[in-house]
Structure formats: structure tokens, C-alpha cells
């Protein structure tokens, strides 16, 4: 099997588009200020045909370090995406709502196709949030991130540690949904942040992320930055 071009912090999420997505959107927003993981949800645009959508899903799956699938309601598309991830040997996990309302629309034939697969059950949005946070803490990129941040901030006081962590997370999340960005664009995004980061703070963080291999920064005046 050919090697995948994986974005180390990217996690694909396959889910029922209308009924379940809002819960994940809110959980991901909450987690983004705590975790460096980039969660990707692919959905149909107004001008997107089925083949275009399938190609995008396959591409995002193949570029992801892990895939999470929510089987609530027995959605056929989620089952198809899970099968593709299994065929490509992409690390994956199943999530399933145990709330009574979720059982009414369940397609039992599709859910039974996933029988024997280990499932993570959640009864409400808070439990889903906790499951995603637990998953994040064990992810290899997060473990590297936390180790690096602990070393870099060990001599800082509480306020400076909090400021450094926020800046590092914002720098990483500029790349969400992208394979790379121009270094100049990354700097401009961070300069525009309401926290008022100085150029020296921004440059130092980018250098440290590159040195610790959480970022890869190309050499040269017009360098691009990617997750390493």
C-alpha cells in the first residue's frame, strides 16, 4: 500500500449531516482553544456534485492521522466512509449516541454492519465533548505538543504560560483544513489577533515549533509552513 501524505494533527469526522453535526461543531469549537488537533468535517456544498464530494472525502480521509465516525441513525454515507477508512488502514473509532431520540430513526441494517466494532457511547453533548477531549489527550501529535510546551514554558509564570499556550495553539490552527500556508500569511494572522502579539513573540514561536518538529518551515524569503 502506498504511503499516505498524512497531516499529523488532522482528524476526519464522518457523521450524519443534519442531525448530529451541530453537536460536533460546538464540541470542536470548545476543544480548539485547548487542543492542537484539527477536526475536519466534509459536507455537500450547494454547487457540489456527488462525485466531487466523494473525491474530497477520500482526499481528506487519506490525509488524516485518525478518523472518527458517528454511526447514530445508521447513516449510509458514514458506513461507506468507515469502510473506505478500513480499506486504507486509517486508524479509526466509532461513536454512537445512546439518547432515546437517536434510536427512532436508526437504520438497524447499517448499524448491524458495524457490529463487533468498539463503540464510544455518549448520552448528551457534554459527554460527547468529554469523549473528544479524552481522544485528544491520547493523540500522538497532542502528546508531542504537550511535552514541547511543558519544556518551553517551565521557567515562565502562570500568566506567561497561558499566553504562550494560546499563541502556539492559534499558530497551529491557522493551518486548519490546509496542507500548508505562506509564512507571511501566518504572521499576519497572528499580528491581527486581539491579544496584541509582538513580532518577536510570533517569530520566536514559529522558530520553536519548527525546531521542536511540530511545524516545518521552508527556508527562504517566500517560505511556507506545514504541520510536521
CA quadruple 138, 144, 146, 147: dihedral positive or negative? positive
Do 13 and 107 sit in the same domain of this protein? yes
Does one domain contain both 120 and 45?
A: yes
Domain assignment of residue 158, yes or no: yes
Q: Note down the domain range covering 49.
A: 7-138
What's the pLDDT band for 2 if we cut at 50, 70, 90?
Answer: very low
Do 26 and 134 lie in one domain? The reply is yes
Phi and psi at 151, nearest 5°, equal: -70, -45
Please give the Cα distance from 68 to 95 (Å, whole number).
7
The domain boundary, picked from 115, 138, 161, lies at 138
Give pLDDT, residue 17. 82
Asked whether residue 212 falls in the same domain as residue 111, the answer is: no
| 153 and 182 together in one domain | yes
Q: What is the CATH number of the domain that holds 33?
A: 3.40.50.450
34 and 130 together in one domain: yes
Residues 99 and 133 in one domain: yes
Q: Is 176 inside a domain boundary?
A: yes
Domain co-membership, 95 together with 181:
no
pLDDT digits (tens, 9 = 90+) for 119-171: 899 999 999 999 999 999 999 999 999 999 999 999 999 999 999 999 999 99
Last residue of a domain, one of 86, 103, 138: 138
Least confident of 7-11, 120-124, 210-214: 120-124
Counted domains in the chain: 2
CA distances from 137 to 36, 55, 77, 140, 146 (A): 10, 30, 28, 9, 9
Q: Look at 225 and 220; give whichever has higher pLDDT.
A: 225
Q: Is residue 2 one of the residues assigned to a domain? A: no
Higher pLDDT residue, 40 or 115?
A: 40
Residue at 1 is within a domain = no
- If asked whether residues 34 and 59 sit together in one domain, one would say yes
- What would the pLDDT profile of 12-36 be if each residue is shown by its tens digit? 999 988 889 999 999 999 999 999 9
Same domain, 193 and 98: no
Q: Is residue 21 located within the same domain as residue 110? A: yes
Residue 92 lies in a domain: yes
What is the domain-level CATH number for residue 151? 1.10.10.10
CB-based contact 32:57 (threshold 8 Å): no
The closest alpha carbon to 68, from 144, 123, 133, belongs to 133
User: Among the three residues 123, 138, 153, which one is the final residue of a domain in this structure?
Assistant: 138
Q: Indicate whether 161 and 199 sit together in one domain.
A: yes
Residue 77 has pLDDT above 70, yes or no: yes
pTM score of the predicted model = 0.90
Amino acid at each position: 500500500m502506498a504511503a499516505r501524505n498524512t497531516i499529523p494533527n488532522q482528524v476526519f469526522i464522518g457523521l450524519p449531516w443534519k442531525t448530529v453535526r451541530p453537536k460536533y461543531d460546538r464540541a470542536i469549537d470548545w476543544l480548539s482553544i485547548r487542543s492542537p488537533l484539527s477536526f475536519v468535517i466534509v459536507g455537500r456544498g450547494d454547487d457540489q456534485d456527488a462525485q466531487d464530494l466523494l473525491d474530497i472525502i477520500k482526499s481528506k480521509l487519506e490525509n488524516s492521522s485518525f478518523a472518527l465516525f458517528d454511526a447514530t441513525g445508521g447513516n449510509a454515507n458514514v458506513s461507506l466512509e468507515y469502510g473506505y477508512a478500513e480499506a486504507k488502514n486509517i486508524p479509526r473509532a466509532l461513536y454512537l449516541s445512546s439518547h432515546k431520540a437517536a434510536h427512532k430513526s436508526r437504520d438497524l441494517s447499517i448499524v448491524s454492519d458495524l457490529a463487533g466494532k468498539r463503540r464510544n457511547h455518549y448520552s448528551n453533548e457534554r459527554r460527547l465533548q468529554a469523549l473528544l477531549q479524552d481522544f485528544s489527550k491520547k493523540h500522538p501529535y497532542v502528546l508531542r505538543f504537550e511535552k514541547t510546551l511543558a519544556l518551553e514554558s517551565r521557567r515562565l509564570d502562570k500568566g506567561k504560560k497561558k499566553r504562550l499556550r494560546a499563541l502556539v495553539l492559534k499558530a497551529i490552527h491557522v493551518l486548519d483544513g490546509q496542507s500548508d500556508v505562506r509564512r507571511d500569511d501566518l504572521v499576519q494572522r497572528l499580528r491581527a489577533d486581539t491579544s496584541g502579539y509582538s513580532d518577536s513573540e510570533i517569530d520566536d514561536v514559529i522558530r520553536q515549533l519548527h525546531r521542536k518538529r511540530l511545524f516545518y518551515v521552508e527556508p527562504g524569503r517566500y517560505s511556507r509552513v506545514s504541520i510536521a
